[in-house]
Amino acid sequence: MKWSVKNGDVKGYVADDIMDYVDWTWAHIDDMDEVAHQTGIRLALENGTKTYKEIIGQDWKEQLAQTAYEHQWMTSHGLTHPADLMVSGGQTQASKTAVETVVEERTEEPA
Protein backbone atom coordinates (compact mmCIF):
# COMPACT_ATOMS: atom_id res chain seq x y z
CA MET A 1 0.00 0.00 0.00
CA LYS A 2 2.76 2.44 0.92
CA TRP A 3 4.47 1.68 -2.40
CA SER A 4 1.25 2.43 -4.31
CA VAL A 5 0.81 5.75 -2.48
CA LYS A 6 4.44 6.69 -3.08
CA ASN A 7 4.14 5.94 -6.83
CA GLY A 8 0.85 7.82 -7.20
CA ASP A 9 -1.26 4.75 -7.90
CA VAL A 10 -3.60 5.68 -5.04
CA LYS A 11 -5.25 9.05 -5.56
CA GLY A 12 -6.41 11.43 -2.83
CA TYR A 13 -5.44 11.71 0.81
CA VAL A 14 -4.02 8.61 2.45
CA ALA A 15 -3.23 8.72 6.15
CA ASP A 16 0.33 7.94 7.18
CA ASP A 17 -0.94 5.20 9.49
CA ILE A 18 -3.10 3.54 6.82
CA MET A 19 -1.32 0.20 7.28
CA ASP A 20 -2.62 0.09 10.86
CA TYR A 21 -6.14 -0.18 9.48
CA VAL A 22 -5.87 -2.35 6.38
CA ASP A 23 -4.91 -5.94 5.99
CA TRP A 24 -4.82 -8.23 3.00
CA THR A 25 -5.20 -11.95 3.02
CA TRP A 26 -5.87 -14.30 0.14
CA ALA A 27 -9.23 -15.98 0.09
CA HIS A 28 -9.03 -19.53 1.36
CA ILE A 29 -10.36 -22.18 -0.95
CA ASP A 30 -10.64 -25.67 0.43
CA ASP A 31 -8.91 -28.38 -1.55
CA MET A 32 -11.45 -30.44 -3.44
CA ASP A 33 -11.17 -34.09 -4.26
CA GLU A 34 -12.85 -33.98 -7.68
CA VAL A 35 -13.40 -37.75 -7.78
CA ALA A 36 -15.11 -37.70 -4.38
CA HIS A 37 -17.20 -34.69 -5.45
CA GLN A 38 -18.37 -36.32 -8.69
CA THR A 39 -19.01 -39.62 -6.90
CA GLY A 40 -21.18 -37.76 -4.40
CA ILE A 41 -23.19 -36.18 -7.20
CA ARG A 42 -23.69 -39.54 -8.91
CA LEU A 43 -24.77 -41.20 -5.66
CA ALA A 44 -27.17 -38.36 -4.82
CA LEU A 45 -28.82 -38.74 -8.23
CA GLU A 46 -28.97 -42.52 -7.89
CA ASN A 47 -30.56 -42.51 -4.44
CA GLY A 48 -32.89 -39.61 -5.19
CA THR A 49 -31.58 -37.14 -2.62
CA LYS A 50 -30.73 -34.64 -5.39
CA THR A 51 -32.34 -33.89 -8.72
CA TYR A 52 -30.79 -32.80 -12.01
CA LYS A 53 -32.54 -29.46 -11.53
CA GLU A 54 -30.77 -28.97 -8.18
CA ILE A 55 -27.37 -29.91 -9.59
CA ILE A 56 -27.49 -28.45 -13.11
CA GLY A 57 -29.99 -25.63 -12.67
CA GLN A 58 -33.33 -24.47 -14.05
CA ASP A 59 -32.37 -25.33 -17.65
CA TRP A 60 -31.49 -28.92 -16.83
CA LYS A 61 -33.66 -30.33 -19.66
CA GLU A 62 -31.90 -28.17 -22.25
CA GLN A 63 -28.48 -29.09 -20.90
CA LEU A 64 -29.24 -32.82 -20.93
CA ALA A 65 -30.72 -32.50 -24.44
CA GLN A 66 -27.52 -30.74 -25.55
CA THR A 67 -25.42 -33.51 -24.00
CA ALA A 68 -27.54 -36.15 -25.76
CA TYR A 69 -27.19 -34.31 -29.07
CA GLU A 70 -23.41 -34.07 -28.67
CA HIS A 71 -23.25 -37.76 -27.76
CA GLN A 72 -25.25 -38.74 -30.85
CA TRP A 73 -23.20 -36.45 -33.09
CA MET A 74 -19.88 -37.81 -31.82
CA THR A 75 -21.07 -41.40 -32.15
CA SER A 76 -22.34 -40.82 -35.70
CA HIS A 77 -18.93 -39.37 -36.63
CA GLY A 78 -16.99 -42.31 -35.21
CA LEU A 79 -15.83 -40.46 -32.10
CA THR A 80 -15.98 -41.69 -28.52
CA HIS A 81 -17.98 -39.55 -26.14
CA PRO A 82 -16.39 -39.26 -22.69
CA ALA A 83 -19.55 -40.72 -21.12
CA ASP A 84 -18.80 -43.98 -22.92
CA LEU A 85 -15.37 -44.40 -21.35
CA MET A 86 -14.87 -46.64 -18.34
CA VAL A 87 -12.21 -46.24 -15.67
CA SER A 88 -10.60 -49.44 -16.94
CA GLY A 89 -10.09 -47.84 -20.35
CA GLY A 90 -12.83 -49.85 -22.05
CA GLN A 91 -15.89 -48.46 -23.76
CA THR A 92 -19.56 -48.92 -22.96
CA GLN A 93 -22.43 -49.13 -25.39
CA ALA A 94 -24.79 -46.17 -25.05
CA SER A 95 -28.33 -46.89 -23.99
CA LYS A 96 -30.84 -46.16 -26.73
CA THR A 97 -33.39 -44.97 -24.22
CA ALA A 98 -30.94 -42.62 -22.54
CA VAL A 99 -29.47 -41.00 -25.64
CA GLU A 100 -31.39 -41.65 -28.85
CA THR A 101 -34.80 -41.01 -27.33
CA VAL A 102 -33.84 -37.47 -26.38
CA VAL A 103 -32.17 -36.87 -29.75
CA GLU A 104 -35.24 -38.16 -31.59
CA GLU A 105 -37.42 -35.71 -29.66
CA ARG A 106 -35.32 -32.77 -30.79
CA THR A 107 -36.34 -31.02 -33.96
CA GLU A 108 -33.30 -28.79 -34.42
CA GLU A 109 -29.71 -28.40 -33.32
CA PRO A 110 -29.32 -26.40 -30.10
CA ALA A 111 -27.69 -22.99 -30.21
In a domain, 54, yes or no: yes
| pLDDT above 80 (res 94) | no
Residue 24 maps to a domain? yes
What residue numbers bound the domain in which 47 lies? 2-105
How many residues does this entry show for the chain?
A: 111
Confidence of residue 85 (pLDDT cuts 50, 70, 90): confident
Give the rounded percent of residues in the chain with a pLDDT score beyond 70. Answer: 53
What is the Cα Rg of the chain in Å?
A: 25
- The answer to whether 22 and 1 are in contact (CB under 8 A) is yes
Residue 97 has pLDDT above 50, yes or no: no
C-alpha span between 58 and 104 (Å, rounded): 22
The full DSSP string for the chain is -HHHHHTT-S-S---TTGGGT----PPP-----HHHHHHHHHHHHHHTSS-HHHHH-TTHHHHHHHHHHHHHHHHHTTPPPGGGB-TTS-BPPPPTTTTHHHHHH--S---
Residue 12 lies in a domain: yes
Cβ contact 100:72 at 8 Å: yes
Total number of domains constituting the chain: 1
pTM of whole model > 0.75?
A: no
| Confidence label for 86 from pLDDT (cuts 50, 70 and 90) | confident
* Overall average pLDDT of the 32-55 stretch: 91
In a domain? residue 111 = no
pLDDT at 84: 84
